[in-house]
Structure 1
Amino acid sequence: MSQALRVVLAGGGTAGHTSPLIATAQALQRLTDVELSCIGTPKGLETTVIPQAGLALDLVDPVPMPRKPGLDQALVPVRLNRAVNQARKILHDRGAEVVVGFGGYVSLPAYLAARRLRIPVVIHEQNAIPGLANKVAARFAAVVATTFPDTPLPKARFIGLPVRTEIQALAREGRPTRDEARAMLGLDADRPTLLVSGGSQGARSINTALVTARDGLLADGVQVLHVWGRKNFTDQHVEVRDEATGARYVPVAYVDQMHVAYAAADLMVGRSGAGTVVETAVVGLPGVFVPLPHGNGEQARNATALVAAGGAVLVPDAELDRQRLLDVVAPLVTNPDELARMARAGRSLMSATAADDLAGLVIAAAQPLGAKAHATKGRGF
């Protein structure tokens, strides 16, 4: 009987890093005998979601990378060296045979520690514009996998984004069905349905534009599920019904099962974080994306390939208002043929198998002696 493959996964801070990490861990568990552990920092989302996923978590000190000169910037080398030493001990104690990183503050110490120990490194870059940690490690990584086809990293291999099992089930098996999803969310079964969400924290410009366009959409017979974000939702946000068409506006603070909202919708308006872009494409939900106007422009780049393929429409944040939203959304959400064409375009671009594909690359990249000993469960790589 072969010894279990020992894999250490590094990533944290936000769901953008932890979600593909957990999806990849689940795929590894399906495909081979494996011992998994994760590296994170005490400040990130990983301290909650990784243990909830049943994965062991080791912590290193965070090493933020300030852009402006000052004391924090001057202390980066000392802090990084300390974190690398911590990660090195973790990798040694865990007997790591391969390290898988998803970017963020915690990944760079893990990458550098793995290099010192001559452990193969597999990188997955979530965004179209790569982060610093993955830029550095791509120079020596055994495998560099990307979510988008035009990410500028050496040796980049486009595989898509590892998505959680619920998204895979919706993409592959159509579970839940549209009728089931609408019933679960209290929506009418036979109406054009618009999903609006700015993510877990909401998006002010999207929320504002939707509220001003709401009555026009309802008058066109479009029902709206509006996810405000917990910090934006108040008792004043109440359901509204158009007396003539019967269409309803249904505001909620948050949706715990986003795959159900995807299944219920004909069209989505939202930000273009990598997770949203990929998940909607994978399940065939056309999107109107309004990229976050701040940062390094990564959200606009995230949407580029899907927009070019015809699976989504992009509206700059500065141009989003009542009239622009109505002009784009109203004729689209009521056009089944165009929605079906966009759904096909999204599915053709983004694969639902990225988690399994990345897991296969991880298994193949394991140290030579270990790789020969680890057989996959019913799948060859």
Structure 2
Amino acid sequence: MADPLRVLLAGGGTAGHVNPMLATASALAGEHGATCAALGTSDGLESRLVPASGLDLHPVPRVPLPRRPSADLLRLPTNLRAAVRAAREAIEATGADVVVGFGGYVATPAYLAARRAGVPVVVHEQNARPGLANKVGARTAAAVALTFATTPLAARRGRTEVTGLPLRGAVADLVAQRTGDDRGAAARVAGARALGLDPDRPILLVTGGSLGAQRLNDTLAASAGDLAGVAQVLHLTGRDKDGPVRARVGDAADYHVLDYLPEMEHALACADLVVCRSGAGTVAELSALGLPAVYVPLPHGNGEQRLNAADVVGAGGGVLVEDAALTPAYVREHLVPLLGDADRLRAMGEAAVASGPGDGAGPLAELVVAVARG
């Protein structure tokens, strides 16, 4: 019997890096019997989530890659050497057969250390516009895995596959339920009841993520009167940002406000339409679940959120609205009619599912095993 595969996964800093990493580790262990460990910073989100998942965390110093002249750029050589050394020690301590990177601060040291140690690398890029760390990693990677088929990143010497994004366990379970015999009907009822909603009436989910989105909060709260009687609204404002929204909506009928929902799967199980930003994780989850959405990309940054939603919007599974264009008039003239059109929502949901590969945890785990086994 072959020895268990030993995998070192590198991802940290944000939930967008950590959650896919943990989902992949779960698939590698559960489906392939692999032994997994993780690289991450000692003060980031991964410092809590990785140990909580049962994985060993090997700390690596944070190494920002500056895009313009700065003090960080001057310190980069020294910081990078220390981080690569820590990553190399982790590779040796775990006896890693393969390193899997998800981008972010710890990925570049992991890629460089793996190359020096002669250990193959698999890069996973979650965004439609690849990050700098993964551009570096792709140059020598044995394989590159993509969430979106249109992402302009490929392994120069290895294979490139569209695996999709590895989904959080609760979301992956919900995807399975929605493709089961009752098409998720039981999950819808359970989710709605857990949130105090009526599963027999339309439900609009509004979310800007854990930090919230000011434009979504202001516009939807101002539109409470137009939405009343059309749909039940579950508005997740972002942590500690519920006060102004509650004050604005007052006692509007069927308008439910929370700042944060730990059991997000309840909301996803019962929503008929979602208004949200278009981070890679959000787009991948909603597409896999077949949830139609109105995507409102961040108006700043490098434009990756617009690109993240491009495939599903192009397929008809979502609508793209510029941040400045999401106004009460837009809600009244476009969102309200959409909520009342069950046939269109159903068609959008079907198009969303067809637009992407679904849960990427299994396919990515298979790719990692194939690379490690040569």
Q: Do both proteins adopt the same fold according to a TM-score greater than 0.5, normalized to the shorter chain?
A: yes
Q: Equivalent residues in 2 for 1:1-381 (5 A)? A: 1-155=1-155, 156-174=160-178, 177-218=187-228, 220-234=229-243, 237=246, 247-368=253-374
The CA deviation at 1:241 is 5.2
Which AA in structure 1 matches 2:177? Answer: E
CA distance in 2, matches of 1:268, 1:308: 17
The CA deviation at 1:367 is 4.9
The CA deviation at 1:61 is 0.7
Contact 1:119-1:367 within 8 A present in 2 as well: no
**1:22-61 deviations in whole A, cap 9, x for unaligned?**
1101111121121110000123210011111111101011
**Count of residues in Structure 1 that have an aligned counterpart in Structure 2:** 363
CA distance in 1, matches of 2:102, 2:66: 20
Which of structure 1's runs of 4+ aligned residues deviate more than 6 A? Answer: none
CA distance in 2, matches of 1:232, 1:209: 14
Contact 2:62-2:83 within 8 A present in 1 as well: yes
CA distance in 1, matches of 2:245, 2:79: 47
State the TM-score, normalized to the length of structure 2: 0.94
Equivalent residue number for residue 371 of structure 1: none
Which AA in structure 1 matches 2:242? Answer: F
RMSD: 1.5
Equivalent residue number for residue 378 of structure 1: none
Contact 2:317-2:352 within 8 A present in 1 as well: yes
Secondary structure in 2 aligned to 1:234?
A: helix
Secondary structure in 1 aligned to 2:226?
A: helix
Task: Assess, with a 3 A threshold, how the Cα gap between structure 1 residues 241 and 192 changes in structure 2: closer, same or farther.
Answer: farther
Contact 2:162-2:357 within 8 A present in 1 as well: no
Task: Report which stretch shifted further, 168-177 or 251-260.
Answer: 168-177
The CA deviation at 1:328 is 2.4
The CA deviation at 1:235 is 8.5
Secondary structure in 1 aligned to 2:209?
A: coil
Secondary structure in 2 aligned to 1:196?
A: strand
Secondary structure in 1 aligned to 2:118?
A: coil
Secondary structure in 1 aligned to 2:13?
A: coil
Which AA in structure 2 matches 1:193? Answer: I
The CA deviation at 1:192 is 1.2
Task: Report which stretch shifted further, 150-159 or 12-21.
Answer: 150-159
Secondary structure in 1 aligned to 2:62?
A: coil
State the TM-score, normalized to the length of structure 1: 0.92
CA distance in 2, matches of 1:49, 1:240: 37
CA distance in 2, matches of 1:170, 1:137: 33
Unmatched 5+ stretches in structure 2: 179-183
**1:211-260 deviations in whole A, cap 9, x for unaligned?**
11111011x42110000111312387277555xxxx50000011112121
Contact 2:191-2:269 within 8 A present in 1 as well: yes
The CA deviation at 1:65 is 1.9
Equivalent residue number for residue 181 of structure 2: none
Task: Report which stretch shifted further, 67-76 or 286-295.
Answer: 67-76
Task: Report which stretch shifted further, 37-46 or 153-162.
Answer: 153-162
CA distance in 2, matches of 1:135, 1:327: 42
Secondary structure in 2 aligned to 1:124?
A: strand
Task: Report which stretch shifted further, 331-340 or 152-161.
Answer: 152-161
Unmatched 5+ stretches in structure 1: 369-381
CA distance in 2, matches of 1:111, 1:75: 19
CA distance in 2, matches of 1:326, 1:259: 28
Contact 1:9-1:101 within 8 A present in 2 as well: yes
**1:336-371 deviations in whole A, cap 9, x for unaligned?**
111111111111122334100000000011154xxx
| More relative contact order, 1 or 2 (CA 8 Å, 6+ apart) | 1
Identity %: 48
